[in-house]
Structure formats: C-alpha cells, structure tokens
Amino acid sequence: MFSKLLSSIFKRGNENSTEMHFDTTQQQENTMSNHFLDLAKQRRTIYALGKDMPVADEEAIDTIKEAVKQAPSAFNSQSSRIVILLGKEHNRFWEITREQLRKIVPADHFAGTSAKVDGFAAAAGSVLFFEDQDVVKTLQEQFASYADNFPVWSEHSTGIAQYAVWLALAEKGIGANLQHYNPLIDSDVKTAWQIPESWKLRAHMNFGSIEAPAGEKTYIDDDQRFIIAK
C-alpha cells in the first residue's frame, strides 16, 4: 500500500480514457491522499521502543528499501545510501556510540548519557542514512553552474528519504526516532561495517515495537507559519 502511495505522490499518472474510469481513479487518489495525511499524523517520534516488532525482519528491511527507492532526489541522483542494522549489529552500533560519548561527556554526567543510549539500544534495529559524496562531486563537475547547490540538494534528498522510511515504518505499526551522533561516530562506523569512504553519515533512525506512545504534539499558529497568496 505504501509503495503505491509513494508512486501516487511522487509520479504523475496517465490521463484516463473514460469519464467513469477517471471518476474511479480520482476517488482512489483521494483515498490515498487522505491515507497519506492520516499516516503523517500517525508518524511520531517514539522513544520507548522494543525488539518485539509487529512484522518479520525481512518485511521491515523490504519496507525500508522500497521507501528509499521511491524517494525523489535532485536530477534523479539517487545519492542516498543505507545501512540497516538488526539484533547484535544494532547493539554494536550503540556501544560504539556510547564509547565515543564517554570520551567527551564529564564522568559525573555520564550515567544519564549511558541510560539514554540504553534506551536507543532497546530498539530492534537502526537505519543509518548516508549520502554518497562521489555522486555529489560528479554532478558538480557535470553541471558546473549548479555546483554550489548539489551539496544542499543532497541534504534535501536524505531528508526526504528519512521521512519516507519513517512513514513506511509507521504504516507497519513500527515506531521510530531519529538521532544525530555524527560526525562523532563516523570513523568507527566506517571501520565497523566497511563503509565506502565517499559515504557521509547524515542521521540514524532507531526502529522497533512501540512500548509507549508519544506525548501530545503541539503546533504553532498557522499565521506564523503560512503565507497564502491568490
């Protein structure tokens, strides 16, 4: 369902051959549109995560991969690179993070930091989001007039990929939260999982079973956020 939803959002369909077919398709698109907004509301930052996921690992992996594939990127660069860690490899990631934090957090404050890491490690897995800088550099060389924009557009691409994965996981009933301990952990992560040198870590998402719901979400007033011109 989510891959169809992404296709509906990111691609324009062909014109329908009959009015009846158009009406049916329009109703389906409206349903998908409503589903997307409902899903956007469902997606929340869930900190209380566990390892008892509502779907099998392979289904979660396929969901993440498909969401990234369907996410748009500037010039169709497809610059996003993903590492999915489950089980002991997910735990290993957070132990690496813990040890790097130990080097910079004062000893009398480290217990709280370590407890926070324990909370992240309690999840079932991690998605590490990278951007391939070789792709960015190649585009800069090919389209010199846009050279300054490609690093910015690369950041847009990873943000879209992160949101797409988050939504896709939410649809499966999987909770997630997004963290940023880069660049503190970059070197160790590259060594641990033999990451290509050109891959730049941008974020890491924990995912797992929802052990406690998110709190109430508040919103700023629309007039502070939106300008409407007709």
User: Residue 180: left (phi > 0), alpha (psi -120 to 50), or beta?
Assistant: beta
pLDDT the model gives residue 34:
87
Q: Cα–Cα distance between 139 and 153 in angstroms, integer?
A: 11
Domain enclosing residue 75, as ranges: 45-212
DSSP string, 120-151: HHTSSEEEEEEEEHHHHHHHHHHSGGGTTTHH
Number of domains into which the chain is organized: 1
Q: Express each pLDDT in 97-133 by its tens digit.
A: 999 999 999 999 999 999 999 999 999 999 999 999 9
The verdict on residue 223 lying in a domain is no
The verdict on residue 25 lying in a domain is no
The verdict on residue 67 lying in a domain is yes
The verdict on residue 204 lying in a domain is yes
The verdict on residue 225 lying in a domain is no
The verdict on residue 193 lying in a domain is yes
- Which of 75, 47, 82, 67 is CA-nearest to residue 156? 75
pLDDT the model gives residue 14:
44
pLDDT the model gives residue 92:
98
Q: Are residues 164 and 129 in contact, defined by beta-carbon separation less than 8 angstroms?
A: no
The verdict on residue 141 lying in a domain is yes
Question: The domain spanning residue 139 has which CATH number?
Answer: 3.40.109.10
pLDDT the model gives residue 25:
63
Q: Express each pLDDT in 6-22 by its tens digit.
A: 555 444 444 444 444 44
- Can you state the angle between helices 57-70 and 150-171, rounded to 10 degrees? 140
The verdict on residue 127 lying in a domain is yes
pLDDT the model gives residue 29:
62
> Residues in the chain with pLDDT < 50?
9-22
**What is the value of pTM for the model shown?**
0.86
Peptide bond into 183 cis (omega under 30): yes
